[in-house]
Amino acid sequence: NAGVTQTPKFRVLKTGQSMTLLCAQDMNHEYMYWYRQDPGMGLRLIHYSVGEGTTAKGEVPDGYNVSRLKKQNFLLGLESAAPSQTSVYFCASKTTGNTEAFFGQGTRLTVV
């Protein structure tokens, strides 16, 4: 019973490099979210998706892009990484309606 799986768990990037974080869920959830967690700031929403083929901006979308080509996957891309993007990234998914969200284990990204 995998739930929400994030790949990779850790990554170190050099400034200007690009990368993609993968989120996969096996619960057939419609909604998926990408958050970043920074000390003292809680979790802030980067982008979200309400269904396959749809994406929308959250609170802090600048510097990130996303895609939801398949219902079970939600990709977060950094085209040109900056030190300000050093953070822990969490993916979450949920069903429609006001249910709780299920979170992945997080990806710790460091940009040097």
- Specify the residue, 41 or 82, whose C-beta has the smaller distance to another protein: 41
In the window 66-85, what residues touch another protein (CB under 8 A)?
A: none
> Is 41 one of the binding residues for another protein (CB under 8 A)?
yes
Please give the size of the binding site for another protein, defined by CB under 8 A.
27
Distance of alpha carbon 46 from alpha carbon 77, whole angstroms: 11
Q: Exposed e or buried b for every residue in 62-88, given b needs 16+ CB within 10 A?
A: eebebebeebebbbbebeebeeebbbe
Which C-beta is closer to another protein: that of 36 or that of 111?
36
43 touching another protein, by CB under 8 A: yes
Q: Does 33 bind another protein (CB under 8 A)?
A: yes
User: How big is the CA angle at 76 (ends 75 and 79), to the nearest 5 degrees?
Assistant: 125
Structure tokens given for 2: 């995998």
> Quick check: helix, strand or coil at residue 23?
strand
Rule CB under 8 A: which residues touch another protein?
31, 33, 35, 40-45, 48, 50, 56, 58, 88, 90, 92, 94, 96-103, 105-106
